[in-house]
A and B are shown apart, each in its own frame.
Chain A
Amino acid sequence: DAGVTQSPTHLIKTRGQHVTLRCSPISGHKSVSWYQQVLGQGPQFIFQYYEKEERGRGNFPDRFSARQFPNYSSELNVNALLLGDSALYLCASNPPGANVLTFGAGSRLTVL
């Protein structure tokens, strides 16, 4: 079975641009979470979605948004990119009733 898959794996953007990151959860998992991991730090929670509804939001500006589709895949959008948005963006999924997250390999974003 495929794990959590994320795309793209790497991308480079310039300040002010917009980026869309994509995630497909493990089959049967209806909950998707997004985390930002800056170099040298642990992952920081951005969003959680369950059944297409936002269930939680971390301390991130409104430039960050996300959505979940009927097939439970998800997108993370970041507008007006700043240098500080450079990070590894991790997507994770978990099955109903379980809080153990399975992470994808991440999308590494570099903002120049």
Chain B
Amino acid sequence: GQQLNQSPQSMFIQEGEDVSMNCTSSSIFNTWLWYKQDPGEGPVLLIALYKAGELTSNGRLTAQFGITRKDSFLNISASIPSDVGIYFCAGQLRGNTPLVFGKGTRLSVIA
């Protein structure tokens, strides 16, 4: 089946630092999504990307849909303690196909 390679697996950063994580695939996706999951909760949508090259921001978060349509990245600027959690990328091959998720990047923020 389809697989998304998400990196890094985990990262420890100081409060106020910027964070970057990415997701790659061997397949071309039409949609890329980024979710965050807190302990004991379901994933919550952060950003949705629909066009190759698209750059979208949501507050301190910025994500881009790669030109090749096989990758995406998520940046978090000026991290704060509540950014702690697991970040998942998800891709959709085409309309009405199920989302394929990466294994997640676990972010820890040291105050």
Contact of B95 among A35, A92, A99 (CB under 8 A): A99
Q: Which of B13-21, B60-68, B74-82, B98-106 contacts A (4 or more CB under 8 A)?
A: B98-106
Range, interface on chain B: 20 to 34
Given known A-B contacts A59-B1, A100-B33, A42 and B42 have beta carbons under 8 A apart? no
Interface of A is mostly: loop
A90 x B42 contact (CB < 8 A): yes
Cβ of B108 under 8 Å from chain A: no
Note all chain B residues with C-beta closer than 8 A to A41. Answer: 103-104
Given known A-B contacts A42-B88, A56-B98, A99-B31, A106 and B103 have beta carbons under 8 A apart? no
A42 x B44 contact (CB < 8 A): no
B99 x A101 contact (CB < 8 A): yes
What is the minimal beta-carbon distance from A41 to any residue of chain B, in angstroms? 6
In the complex, residue of chain A having the shortest beta-carbon distance to the beta carbon of B102:
A42
What is the minimal beta-carbon distance from B90 to any residue of chain A, in angstroms? 8
A48–B6 CA distance with the chains assembled, in angstroms: 24
Cβ of B40 under 8 Å from chain A: yes
Note all chain A residues with C-beta closer than 8 A to B110. Answer: none
A43 x B43 contact (CB < 8 A): yes
Q: What are 9 contact pairs spanning A and B, CB under 8 A?
A: A33-B98, A35-B101, A42-B101, A42-B102, A43-B101, A59-B1, A100-B45, A105-B42, A106-B41
Chain A positions within 8 Å of B, measured between CB atoms, are 4, 33, 35, 40-45, 48, 55-56, 58-59, 90, 92, 99-106
